[in-house]
Amino acid sequence: MTAAVLTVADDTEGATAALLARYGIDVTVVPDGADIPGSYWGAPEAGVRGRRVYVRADTPIHSLLHEASHVVCMSAERRAALDTDAGGDDLEEAAVCYLQIVLADELGFVGRRRLMLDMDRWGYSFRLGSTNRWFSEDAEDARGWLESQGLLGARGEPRWVLRR
């Protein structure tokens, strides 16, 4: 992708790693040009193994939040064996996308509007044509799933727990 998106390098304060630490998720930055362990799509996409998300400076923030949201949303059994492929069904994948947008609002340098724009620029695909339209008009099932799993509160706020 050539469109400019926010990357790990733009997080000059380490805010994303601090946010994810609230879930017990570790973020490991690998050197520029290095392979990213656990990356399903390959660099610069984030990789995941267990409760650790691997990134480089050029990894998009949306990718980091997406893989971390997989860690949050999957069962404890899957999390214990997690290496590269998060798996899950379509509803869980939608919940992961929803949660990454919610988490972006917790990051002052990102916010949901910017994250959704970056997701569109990167090529995320939703039925209604844009991430924003999906989130605001077609994501009730994803939000409901997150609430039913105890991952979002009644006002849509993160609960800072992993799915059991």
In the chain, the percentage of residues whose pLDDT exceeds 90 is 94
Q: What are the sequence ranges of the domains in the chain?
A: 8-81, 90-148
Check whether 1 has a pLDDT greater than 50.
no
SS3 123: coil
**66 with 16: CB under 8 angstroms?**
no
**49 with 55: CB under 8 angstroms?**
no
Q: What is the pLDDT of residues 88-133, one digit of tens each?
A: 999 999 999 999 999 999 999 999 999 999 999 999 988 889 999 9
What is the pLDDT at residue 3?
67
**The dihedral formed by the CA atoms of 69, 74, 77 and 81, expressed in degrees to the nearest 10:** -50
Pairing of strands 47-49, 52-55: antiparallel
In the chain, the percentage of residues whose pLDDT exceeds 70 is 98
Across 77-86, b (16+ Cβ under 10 Å) vs e yields: ebbeebeeeb
Predicted model pTM = 0.96
Average pLDDT of the chain? 96
Query: How crowded is residue 25: how many other Cβ atoms within 10 Å of its Cβ?
Result: 21
